[in-house]
A and B are shown apart, each in its own frame.
Chain A
C-alpha cells in the first residue's frame, strides 16, 4: 500500500525553505517548512523544549519550530495549494505551508509562542487561534483585533500557551470563503506534566467539507449547505489513512469541526469516553461513555479508549451521506422500477447506457467511466468485497503484534476461524420461526 511506504519515508520529512526571493526580507524569520505529500507523517518528537508525547496528524504533519531565546517560533505561510482529496482527485485549495489543512502546531503548556504569518494569498487574511486564552490583540479577528494581513505581508503573533488542550487555527478575514477553500489547521497544547492523562497514541484531525462539482477542481466557495465532499483533514475515503493501535494501547482521538454542520463520529468495537472538549479536559467523574459522539460546529472533542479488541474497526461520521463521495442530489429513486424493456429503447439512442438503481444504488464493484477528477460515490474494496463507502470513513486497526511506535498499516485483519459471519449451510427447518403477525394485524387500531 502506498500509504504504508509513505509512512516509512516520512521519517525524513522534506523541509523546503521559503522562496529565495523572500530570503532577504525574511532572513530573520524561521524557515517556513513546507510539505505537499498527503500521507500521515510520523509524529514529530520534540527536539528541544519541554518533553511531550507527540500527536499523529491524520494525513498531515506537525510544523517544526525554532527555539529562539526561549521562545518557540513558527512560520506559517498562507498560500494556494493542490490537495489530493483521494487518489484520482485533486482540489485547488488554500492552505498553510503546502497543505490543506495546514500543519499541526504542537506546544507545551506555558510555552512562549511566536507565530510569523506570511500571506501569499490573493486577498487579505488573518489567523484566529481558536480556543486560546491570549491577549485580545492576538485573537486574530481582522478589523476587530488587528489589521488584516494584506497579500505579501508577514504578521507576527505572540502569546503564552496557557491552557493544555485541543485547539484549531483558521482565518477570521473573509472567513467563509477562506474556510470553504480549506484554510485551517490543528493545534495541540500538551500538558506541562507528561504523566497527566498519558496515552500511547494521540491522533488528531479536522473535519472539513467542500463543494467541488464533478469534473471541476476548485470548491464552490459560496455554498452554504449542499457540500458533496465530506472530509477529514481534506481527505475522503479511500484517501484517509487508517488509525493503527497495538492491542491494549490507550488511544486518544482529537477531532475539530470546521464545517457548517455537526458530525456524529462513531467508532465500532469499543466504547470510548469523551475526555476533552473545547474548554479543556473533562474530570474523570464527568467523562461520558459513548460509541458515537457528536462534534458540533466549531467544536473540538477528545475521545479516549483502550484498544482491546483486535480487528479492523470502522470509524466514521454517522450521517450516512457523509460517508459518500459526490452524488447527484436530484437523481430520482429508481427502486422498484423495471427498466428492462425501456432500457432496450434507451440503448438504441444511447448505446453506452446501462440501467441502474432498480434494486438499489450498489454497483457491485462494477467499473464505469465517470467525469474527470471526480471520486466515485461509493468505493473501496476490503478483504470480503466492495466496502461502498466514501467521505468520512476510515478504520481503526488494532493488532496484537504491532510494534509500540509503529504507525504502519498492518493490512487487512485476519479473523480467527469461525469468527466471521458466513452463509447458513444447514436446513431451513432448523431456523427459529419468524413469527410473522397475520396480515390484518397491522390494521387494527391505527387510524391515519
Chain B
C-alpha cells in the first residue's frame, strides 16, 4: 500500500473539529483534548516520538546521501544532485573536465551520473517525497478564528481555536507511511541510476565497437584500393584483361559501400551514447578510445553472484520492504523464529559434475510471528502471501543472474577463442602468404586478398569482444548494479583487434598469445607464437 492512497484518506478523515465557542470553551476544549490525549497512549506515543525525533525538518541534501552512498557502493561512481545554479555550474565544470580526455567506459558512466538531465529529474522525486515526509511529521498548525458579529445592538464575538485532531491522531501512521515511501523513492532513484548506467555502458560498447569496425573496414578499403589501382596499372601495362581489372575495381567499390554503411552505424551509435550521457552542442566533440577494453585475463568467476543479487537487487529489496511493511501494518512484533525463504541453503555444485563444490550459501531469512494475539482476520494469510511474493521474486532474480552469468562466460569463451586461437591462426596464414610472396610463389594480389579476408576474422573478434562487454553490463545490472571487486578489476590496457592492421602486427602483437597455444584447437600449429620466418630462413641468393 502506498502513501499516495493514504494521503487523501487522511485528509478526508481530518474533518475540522472547529466549532463555535467562547474563549473559555475553547480553552476547555483544548484542555479536554489534552485530557483525552492522556487517555490515549497512541497519541501520546506519537507526539512523544515526534518531539523526540525532531524529524519534522528537511535534510541538508534532500535525502540524496543514501542514494549517493548506494551508487558509490554499486557503481563505484559519485552521483551528484544539482539543486541550485552553483551546483549545476560545478557539475558542468566536472563534465567538461571529463570530456577533455578520451572517454573510457567508467568515465562515460560517471559523466552520465553527473550530467544526465533525466537522472537529475529523477533526483527531484526525492525532494518531493521528502517534502511529503516532512509535512506528515509536523503537527498541524492550530487555527484561530475571531468573528465579531454585530446585530441589533448586540455584539457577539466568536473565537475559534482549532486543531486538525484527526490528523494529529493519524500523524504517526502518516509519518511511517511517508518514511517508507521516501525510502522507496530513494531505492527507485538508485535503481534509475543503475539502469541509466547500464544504458550508458551499452551505448559506449556499441559506439566503440562500431568505431573499431570502421577502422577495420578502412584498412580493408585501403587494401582493396591498392589492389584496384594496381589492377589499373596492370591493365595499362598490358598485363591484365579488362575482366581481371574490373574484378579488382569491383572489390574496391564493394568495400567502399561497406565502409559507408559502417560509418553510418558508428555515427548512430555515437549519437546514442551522447544521448545516454546527456550531451549536446559542443560537448558532442568527445573522443572515444580506439578500442574496446581488453578481455579480463582470466575467466570471470563471480561465484557469489546469486548471493550478491539477493542482497542488492532492487526487486528483491522491494519485495523484502513490502514484507516488512505488511508486518508493520499488521502490528506484528513477536518473532517466533526465522525461516529461509529459499527453503534450503543453496550449494553450487559445478555444472560439469566435478567435485569442485563452491560451497557458498545464499539465504534470505525472514521472521515468522506469533499469531496468537492478533485479532485481524486473514493477517497471517496476508503475511504469508508477502513471503511467497518475496520468494518468487528471489527465485526469478537468481534465475536471471544465472542466465546473465552463463551468457557472460560464454561470451568470454568465444572472445578468448578469437584472441588466442583464431587471430593467431589468421596471422599465421598472413605470414605464410608473405613468405610465398617473397619466394615469388604468390602475387601481391594474393597478399591483398588475404588482407581483405582478415577482415571477417577481425570483425568477428570485435563482435565477440563487444558481446562480452554487453553481457558483462547486463550481468552487472542483474546483480543490482554491483559486482564483487575481483570481477570489477579490469586490465587498463586496450586490447582488442589488431586494428593497426592485421598483417602489420607481423609476428608480434595478437599473433602471439601470452599463454601457451590453446588446447581447444588441435589444428593450431604448435609453433603458433613463433614468427614464421625465424625457424626456417630460406633465403634468396643463398645458394652455392
Residues of chain A touching chain B, judged by Cβ–Cβ distance below 8 Å, are: 86-89, 214-215, 237-238, 326-328, 330-339, 341-342, 345-346, 348-357, 361, 363, 365-382, 386-387
Among listed B228-236, B320-328, B338-346, B380-388, interface-contacting one: B228-236
16 contacts between A and B (CB under 8 A): A328-B440, A332-B239, A337-B230, A348-B504, A349-B501, A349-B504, A351-B506, A353-B444, A353-B447, A366-B540, A368-B540, A369-B438, A370-B540, A376-B543, A377-B439, A380-B543
Residue among B236, B432, B434, B543 facing the most chain A CB atoms (10 A cut-off): B543
Asked if residues A337 and B503 are in contact (CB atoms below 8 Å), the reply is no
Given A346-B447, A367-B541, A368-B539, CB of A377 within 8 Å of CB of B440: yes
Asked if residues A345 and B435 are in contact (CB atoms below 8 Å), the reply is no
Asked if residues A342 and B226 are in contact (CB atoms below 8 Å), the reply is yes
- From B230, B441, B544, contact of A342 by CB (8 A): B230
Does B173 sit at the interface, judged by CB under 8 A? no
Asked if residues B544 and A238 are in contact (CB atoms below 8 Å), the reply is yes
Does B238 sit at the interface, judged by CB under 8 A? yes
Does B159 sit at the interface, judged by CB under 8 A? no
Q: Smallest CB–CB gap between A193 and chain B, Å?
A: 41
Instruction: Give chain B residues whose Cβ lies under 8 Å from the Cβ of A379.
Output: 540-544
In the complex, what distance in Å separates the CA atom of A386 from the CA atom of B542? 9
Residue among A365, A367, A380 facing the most chain B CB atoms (10 A cut-off): A367
In the complex, what distance in Å separates the CA atom of A373 from the CA atom of B237? 35
Asked if residues B544 and A332 are in contact (CB atoms below 8 Å), the reply is no
17 additional A-B residue pairs with CB within 8 Å, beyond A342-B226, A349-B451, A356-B440: A214-B441, A215-B432, A238-B544, A337-B233, A339-B444, A346-B223, A348-B222, A353-B434, A353-B444, A355-B444, A357-B440, A368-B438, A369-B533, A369-B538, A371-B439, A376-B542, A381-B543
Given A336-B239, A382-B544, CB of A370 within 8 Å of CB of B538: yes
Given A337-B239, A387-B544, CB of A373 within 8 Å of CB of B536: yes
- From A330, A350, A376, contact of B539 by CB (8 A): A376
Smallest CB-CB separation from B503: which chain A residue?
Answer: A350
Instruction: Give chain B residues whose Cβ lies under 8 Å from the Cβ of A371.
Output: 432, 435-436, 439, 441, 536, 538
Instruction: Give chain A residues whose Cβ lies under 8 Å from the Cβ of B536.
Output: 369, 371-373
Given A336-B237, A349-B222, A352-B434, CB of A367 within 8 Å of CB of B447: no
- From A87, A330, A378, contact of B443 by CB (8 A): A330
Instruction: Give chain A residues whose Cβ lies under 8 Å from the Cβ of B501.
Output: 348-351
Given A371-B436, A371-B441, CB of A338 within 8 Å of CB of B233: yes
In the complex, what distance in Å separates the CA atom of A350 from the CA atom of B431? 10
Instruction: Give chain B residues whose Cβ lies under 8 Å from the Cβ of A357.
Output: 440
Smallest CB-CB separation from A238: which chain B residue?
Answer: B543
Does B286 sit at the interface, judged by CB under 8 A? no
Q: Smallest CB–CB gap between A384 and chain B, Å?
A: 12
- From A342, A348, A372, contact of B233 by CB (8 A): A342
Asked if residues A345 and B234 are in contact (CB atoms below 8 Å), the reply is no
Top 5 closest pairs, chain A to chain B, by CB: A372-B536, A370-B439, A369-B533, A379-B543, A238-B543
Instruction: Give chain A residues whose Cβ lies under 8 Å from the Cβ of B226.
Output: 342, 345-346, 349
In the complex, what distance in Å separates the CA atom of A74 from the CA atom of B439? 43
Asked if residues B540 and A365 are in contact (CB atoms below 8 Å), the reply is yes
Asked if residues A214 and B439 are in contact (CB atoms below 8 Å), the reply is yes
Residue among A238, A352, A353, A372 facing the most chain B CB atoms (10 A cut-off): A352
Given A333-B239, A349-B223, A370-B539, CB of A381 within 8 Å of CB of B445: no
Residues of chain B touching chain A, judged by Cβ–Cβ distance below 8 Å, are: 219, 222-223, 225-226, 229-230, 233-234, 236-240, 244, 430, 432, 434-445, 447-448, 451, 501, 503-504, 506, 532-533, 535-544
Asked if residues B436 and A370 are in contact (CB atoms below 8 Å), the reply is yes
- From B441, B451, B544, contact of A381 by CB (8 A): B544
Instruction: Give chain A residues whose Cβ lies under 8 Å from the Cβ of B535.
Output: 372
In the complex, what distance in Å separates the CA atom of A363 from the CA atom of B438? 10
Instruction: Give chain A residues whose Cβ lies under 8 Å from the Cβ of B440.
Output: 327-328, 331, 356-357, 361, 377
In the complex, what distance in Å separates the CA atom of A339 from the CA atom of B238? 15
Instruction: Give chain A residues whose Cβ lies under 8 Å from the Cβ of B543.
Output: 86-87, 237-238, 376, 379-381, 387
Asked if residues A367 and B540 are in contact (CB atoms below 8 Å), the reply is yes
Smallest CB-CB separation from B229: which chain A residue?
Answer: A342
Residue among A350, A368, A373 facing the most chain B CB atoms (10 A cut-off): A350
In the complex, what distance in Å separates the CA atom of A320 from the CA atom of B200? 67
Q: Smallest CB–CB gap between B102 and chain A, Å?
A: 23
Asked if residues B441 and A331 are in contact (CB atoms below 8 Å), the reply is yes
In the complex, what distance in Å separates the CA atom of A330 from the CA atom of B432? 17
In the complex, what distance in Å separates the CA atom of A324 from the CA atom of B538? 16
Smallest CB-CB separation from A361: which chain B residue?
Answer: B440
Instruction: Give chain A residues whose Cβ lies under 8 Å from the Cβ of B438.
Output: 354, 368-370
Instruction: Give chain A residues whose Cβ lies under 8 Å from the Cβ of B443.
Output: 328, 330-332, 334
Smallest CB-CB separation from B439: which chain A residue?
Answer: A370
Smallest CB-CB separation from A389: which chain B residue?
Answer: B543
Instruction: Give chain A residues whose Cβ lies under 8 Å from the Cβ of B503.
Output: 349-352
Asked if residues B237 and A326 are in contact (CB atoms below 8 Å), the reply is no
Instruction: Give chain B residues whose Cβ lies under 8 Å from the Cβ of A339.
Output: 230, 233, 444
Given A339-B233, A352-B506, A380-B543, CB of A346 within 8 Å of CB of B439: no
Q: Smallest CB–CB gap between A211 and chain B, Å?
A: 13
Instruction: Give chain A residues whose Cβ lies under 8 Å from the Cβ of B240.
Output: 332
In the complex, what distance in Å separates the CA atom of A373 from the CA atom of B535? 10
In the complex, what distance in Å separates the CA atom of A88 from the CA atom of B448? 29
- From A328, A349, A363, contact of B441 by CB (8 A): A328
Given A332-B443, A351-B501, CB of A367 within 8 Å of CB of B539: yes
In the complex, what distance in Å separates the CA atom of A332 from the CA atom of B219? 24
Asked if residues B538 and A372 are in contact (CB atoms below 8 Å), the reply is yes
Given A238-B544, A348-B501, A365-B541, CB of A334 within 8 Å of CB of B439: no
In the complex, what distance in Å separates the CA atom of A119 from the CA atom of B36? 122
In the complex, what distance in Å separates the CA atom of A17 from the CA atom of B225? 64
In the complex, what distance in Å separates the CA atom of A368 from the CA atom of B444? 15
In the complex, what distance in Å separates the CA atom of A369 from the CA atom of B214? 33
- From B233, B436, B448, B542, contact of A346 by CB (8 A): B448
In the complex, what distance in Å separates the CA atom of A352 from the CA atom of B451? 13
Instruction: Give chain B residues whose Cβ lies under 8 Å from the Cβ of A335.
Output: 237, 239
Given A335-B237, A335-B239, A337-B237, CB of A350 within 8 Å of CB of B541: no
Smallest CB-CB separation from A344: which chain B residue?
Answer: B226
Instruction: Give chain B residues whose Cβ lies under 8 Å from the Cβ of A332.
Output: 234, 239-240, 244, 443, 445
Q: Smallest CB–CB gap between A49 and chain B, Å?
A: 39
In the complex, what distance in Å separates the CA atom of A345 from the CA atom of B229? 10
Instruction: Give chain B residues whose Cβ lies under 8 Å from the Cβ of A326.
Output: 439, 441
Instruction: Give chain B residues whose Cβ lies under 8 Å from the Cβ of A327.
Output: 440-441
Asked if residues A366 and B541 are in contact (CB atoms below 8 Å), the reply is yes
Q: Smallest CB–CB gap between A361 and chain B, Å?
A: 6
In the complex, what distance in Å separates the CA atom of A375 from the CA atom of B442? 14
Q: Smallest CB–CB gap between A407 and chain B, Å?
A: 18
Instruction: Give chain B residues whose Cβ lies under 8 Å from the Cβ of A372.
Output: 532, 535-536, 538
Asked if residues B544 and A345 are in contact (CB atoms below 8 Å), the reply is no
Smallest CB-CB separation from B533: which chain A residue?
Answer: A369
Instruction: Give chain B residues whose Cβ lies under 8 Å from the Cβ of A381.
Output: 541, 543-544
Instruction: Give chain A residues whose Cβ lies under 8 Å from the Cβ of B451.
Output: 349-350
Asked if residues B219 and A349 are in contact (CB atoms below 8 Å), the reply is yes
Instruction: Give chain A residues whose Cβ lies under 8 Å from the Cβ of B435.
Output: 215, 369-371
Instruction: Give chain A residues whose Cβ lies under 8 Å from the Cβ of B540.
Output: 363, 365-368, 370, 376, 378-379
Instruction: Give chain A residues whose Cβ lies under 8 Å from the Cβ of B442.
Output: 328, 331
Q: Smallest CB–CB gap between B112 and chain A, Å?
A: 37
Q: Smallest CB–CB gap between B92 and chain A, Å?
A: 41
Smallest CB-CB separation from A341: which chain B residue?
Answer: B229
Given A214-B439, A349-B226, A382-B544, CB of A374 within 8 Å of CB of B233: no
Smallest CB-CB separation from B235: which chain A residue?
Answer: A337
Asked if residues B436 and A328 are in contact (CB atoms below 8 Å), the reply is yes
Instruction: Give chain B residues whose Cβ lies under 8 Å from the Cβ of A238.
Output: 543-544
Smallest CB-CB separation from A367: which chain B residue?
Answer: B539
Smallest CB-CB separation from B244: which chain A residue?
Answer: A332
In the complex, what distance in Å separates the CA atom of A337 from the CA atom of B226? 13
- From B504, B506, B541, B544, contact of A363 by CB (8 A): B541
